Structure 1
Amino acid sequence: MSRRTVIACTGGGLIATALGVVVDVHRSPEPGPAETQDESGAGPPAEPTPERGQAWMPEVTHKPLTVNFTPGGIREMRGLVMHVQEGENSLHDRFSDPAVECSSHFWVAQSGEIEQYVSAHDRAWAQAAGNPSWLSVETSGFARRPLTAQQVASVARIYAWGMAQHGWPLASASTPLGRGFGIHSMGGRDWGGHACPGSLRSAQTGEILSAVREMYPR
């Protein structure tokens, strides 16, 4: 691991590792009574339920987590939420640390490589109150830099898969009550109060949906 600052927008508070790397884990607000038991433990991914669509996206790298997620915790499928990593390199090792207490379903490298960490039937710990209803994708890089063309294409691939398997609409979402392709900041305080993924990447949601339309015409 390099000594560059590595920040993922999914979780609160700066922690310094033994290697001198400072990590902002964005720890989400404490869950309410209805959420406490769900978020308190983790285990192996729940068995897939065929009628709910595919749990694992094909033709991507699968790196299942054993901690930092809630098995069977997805209550509904509203769509996909985009995040920015504020760092580089795979997030699998970081999300595998029980002390971090955050995760995402997918991670997309600047090269376009896709890694999936959490089943689509399980709840990743990415956007606080939005976790039970939305899948999540972290995008490598920094908010001050736009997504690469390869990232745009790969996020579009994930979304097209979600349309086919989980019924997501070909639409952008602007609030937690909407459905479609959304961004972390749309959840406001209940989702941690973050500006993630920043104005540059937020402005690319239309470009991503245009790419989805070419992959999944209706």
Structure 2
Amino acid sequence: MSRRTAMLCTSSGLIATAFGVVVDRGGDPGPVHTEAQEESTAEPTAEAAPEPGRQAWMPDATLRPLSVNFTPGGLKEMRGLVLHVQEGENSLHDHFSDPAAQASAHFWVSQSGEIEQYVSAHDRAWAQGTGNPSWLSVETSGFASRPLTAQQVDSVARIYAWGMAQHGWPLEPASTPQGRGLGIHRMGGRAWGGHSCPGPLRSAQAGEILSTVRHNSRG
């Protein structure tokens, strides 16, 4: 796996690689915690737990379930979807399948719009610290210095439309961890890592994603 492939944003505010190299503290002066450590301390208030009858796997996605780095049945409520940037390229399945990574996301979207799903919508991925029990997550291939491609916008919109239909996500942006809708990783502040993922360019595209959902629903 290349260094470019393995890099991604993590809830601890680090950019980590499969080679064990860690760079960019992202301005977080606090202690570093792994996703596994945060899993044992997060205690959310459940208000809209996933319903067993709802789809756990998105039919339009390539399903590549993980065997490690997630919490079975650990999603305690369903607030919406959190947008991330990979800070790298190529599928994250192999990286998330490494027990040492201690990280995962529900979905990954390539720059050409391919969707992979790694974690069931009824289970907890390890993507955004204390937000893990309440939100689904999507990693997007590429870098924060470059905007989402048109294909990525369309594919994230497809994921969001599926979540609206299956899990009741509202067609609106979320600006805090207590909100509901389409959120971004940095909205969680220190508890979610205290860094800028997915960066200003991709954060600004959240409205475009929701507009695409709205447009497609009318078609």
TM-score in terms of structure 1 length: 0.85
Partner of residue 145, structure 1: 146
Partner of residue 73, structure 1: 74
Task: Give per-residue Cα distances to partners, 1:51-74, cap 9 Å, x unaligned.
Answer: 3x1000002100000000000011
Partner of residue 217, structure 2: 216
- Would the aligned equivalents of 2:6 and 2:17 in 1 still touch at CA under 8 Å? no
Higher relative contact order (CA 8 A, sep 6+): 2
- Would the aligned equivalents of 1:10 and 1:83 in 2 still touch at CA under 8 Å? no
Query: Which residues of 2 match residues 74-153 of structure 1 at below 5 A?
Result: 74-153=75-154
Aligned-CA RMSD value: 2.6
Paired positions, count: 204
Give, in angstroms, the shift of residue 214 of structure 1. Answer: 1.6
Structure 2 unaligned blocks of 5 or more: 25-31, 44-49
TM-score in terms of structure 2 length: 0.85
Structure 1 unaligned blocks of 5 or more: 37-47
Partner of residue 57, structure 1: 58
1:71–1:201: structure 2 CA closer, same or farther, 3 Å change rule?
same
**Partner secondary structure for residue 154 of structure 2:** helix
- Would the aligned equivalents of 2:80 and 2:169 in 1 still touch at CA under 8 Å? yes
Give, in angstroms, the shift of residue 194 of structure 1. Answer: 1.7
Q: Which runs of 4+ in 1 moved over 6 A?
A: none
Partner of residue 8, structure 1: 8
Which amino acid letter does the alignment assign opposite residue 81 of structure 1? V
1:123–1:146: structure 2 CA closer, same or farther, 3 Å change rule?
same
1:6–1:31: structure 2 CA closer, same or farther, 3 Å change rule?
closer
Take 1:8 and 1:32, find their aligned partners in 2: how far apart are those partners? 19
1:157–1:32: structure 2 CA closer, same or farther, 3 Å change rule?
closer
Percent identical among aligned pairs is 70
- Would the aligned equivalents of 1:10 and 1:104 in 2 still touch at CA under 8 Å? no
- Would the aligned equivalents of 1:29 and 1:192 in 2 still touch at CA under 8 Å? no
Which amino acid letter does the alignment assign opposite residue 107 of structure 1? W
Which amino acid letter does the alignment assign opposite residue 110 of structure 2? A
